[in-house]
Amino acid sequence: MAELSFKTLLYRYFFFGWLFRDVNKGDMYERSNAWRHNLQQARWLATYLRRWLLVGAITYGLGEFCESLLEAPLLSAFFYVPMAVSVSINTVIGSLMVGFKLLAGSGSL
């Protein structure tokens, strides 16, 4: 296996899209295989959720530190924006986790 660049590793550490296959391409057999693959890969979503929760907590703490103790509201915005992004990413991850749980039992694509 070829060595991955740091940029690729960093991307894969925070973003999970590379884990999943498109279930809308190919014939029924390929789509079914992609669905089963995605169900198996969904177990990693909790790991990504924890990573983004940690990012959100750290950036919120740094933003609060900058705003209250350093009295630098502009600098605090530098930390609050990634915190807000982490909230939206966690919402997407949570929705995917619920969706995979609900759809896994139905056996549908």
3-state secondary structure 33-54: HHHHHHHHHHHHHHHHHHHHHH
**97 occurs within a structural domain:** yes
pTM score, whole prediction: 0.86
**87 occurs within a structural domain:** yes
User: 């969904």: which residue's tokens?
Assistant: 42
**22 occurs within a structural domain:** no
Res 109: pLDDT: 52
Is the per-residue pLDDT at 98 higher than 80?
Answer: yes
Mean per-residue pLDDT, 36-53: 96
pLDDT in tens, 68-92: 999 998 999 999 999 999 999 999 9
**33 occurs within a structural domain:** no
What confidence tier does 1 reach under pLDDT thresholds 50, 70, 90? low
What confidence tier does 93 reach under pLDDT thresholds 50, 70, 90? very high
**59 occurs within a structural domain:** yes
**34 occurs within a structural domain:** no
**30 occurs within a structural domain:** no
Structural tokens at position 97: 């986790």
What domain range is 66 assigned to? Answer: 45-109
**What domain count does the chain have?**
1
- For CA atoms 21, 24, 27, 28, the dihedral sign is positive
**35 occurs within a structural domain:** no
* Spatial distance between the Cα atoms of 56 and 94, rounded to a whole number of angstroms: 15
8 Å CB contact between 19 and 43? no
Res 106: pLDDT: 65
Alpha helix segments (H runs only) across the chain: 6-14, 28-41, 45-64, 73-106
Res 25: pLDDT: 94
